[in-house]
Structure 1
Amino acid sequence: MTATILICIAIAVIVILGVRSYMKRVSSGCCGSGGGTVKKIRVPDKDKSHYPYRKVLWIDGMVCGNCAANVENALNSLDGVWAKVNLTEKKAEVLMKKPFDDEILKLSVKDSGYTVFRIDES
């Protein structure tokens, strides 16, 4: 009898925490961003001829425009990188002034909360 009561209490706590988490997510806007949009980091040099290196990163976990902006900002904060994210295709085209190791690009995306599952060289 005591075990049944403890199990019911545990289930009730889990349900309450789940509902609270869901309500917080719904009320705070997309991806918990507070309902606003993410301000994009602007790349000062937009001359494509200055970026001889190119990679395409395939990214998991992006669901909205704020997610895409977060990934773009993470990559664009790297010196000599100009990234554009395509949310529909779940990929980022990364133009670079110098070669970057794949792990640096992956870590930058990972630190923003997303996962790179493939990198194509071009």
Structure 2
Amino acid sequence: MATAIVGIVVLIALSFAVKGVLKHWRGESSCCSGGAITPPPKKKLDGAIVDTKIVDIEGMTCGNCKIRVEQALDTIDGAAAEVNLHRNHAVVKMTREVSNEEIRQALAGSGYTITGIHAK
């Protein structure tokens, strides 16, 4: 009898944990200093795409992190980013040659760590 009660309590706790993780991944939790933030419109690039780089990033945990990283990378002139949270990387499309150092500078001090930059 006691085993059944403990099992039920564990299942209830596990269901709350799974529900919290799913909210967190959708950006609906209060992580990253507050509630969900509204994503700005996607940055549009004028001109032909001349290069695409994949930026591997550690430290992103939710939809808010995704938005913050995209906003930081979008500050680079001639570049627009799209983050894949589950793969922990950003795809940066460029209308001009952008150095790896420019990409690193865009995320400097953001709390996220670039672990690699490579061509697509």
User: So what's the TM-score if we normalise by structure 1?
Assistant: 0.67
Aligned to 1:30: 31
Contact 1:110–1:116 under 8 Å retained in 2: no
Determine the C-alpha separation between the residues in 2 that align with 1:44 and 1:89. 23
Determine the C-alpha separation between the residues in 1 that align with 2:104 and 2:41. 18
Aligned to 2:51: 53
Runs of 4+ with >3 A deviation: none
- Identity of counterpart residues, as a percentage? 36
Aligned to 1:43: 43
Determine the C-alpha separation between the residues in 2 that align with 1:43 and 1:101. 19
Shift of 1:90: 0.1
Contact 1:31–1:67 under 8 Å retained in 2: yes
Which has the larger share of helix?
1
Determine the C-alpha separation between the residues in 2 that align with 1:81 and 1:111. 19
* Pairing 1:1-122 to 2, within 5 Å after superposition: 29-32=30-33, 34-40=34-40, 42-45=42-45, 50-122=48-120
Shift of 1:98: 0.7
Determine the C-alpha separation between the residues in 1 that align with 2:68 and 2:86. 15
- Greater C-alpha Rg: 1
Amino acid at match of 2:35: G
Contact 2:54–2:119 under 8 Å retained in 1: yes
Amino acid at match of 1:42: K
Aligned residues: 92
Shift of 1:40: 2.6
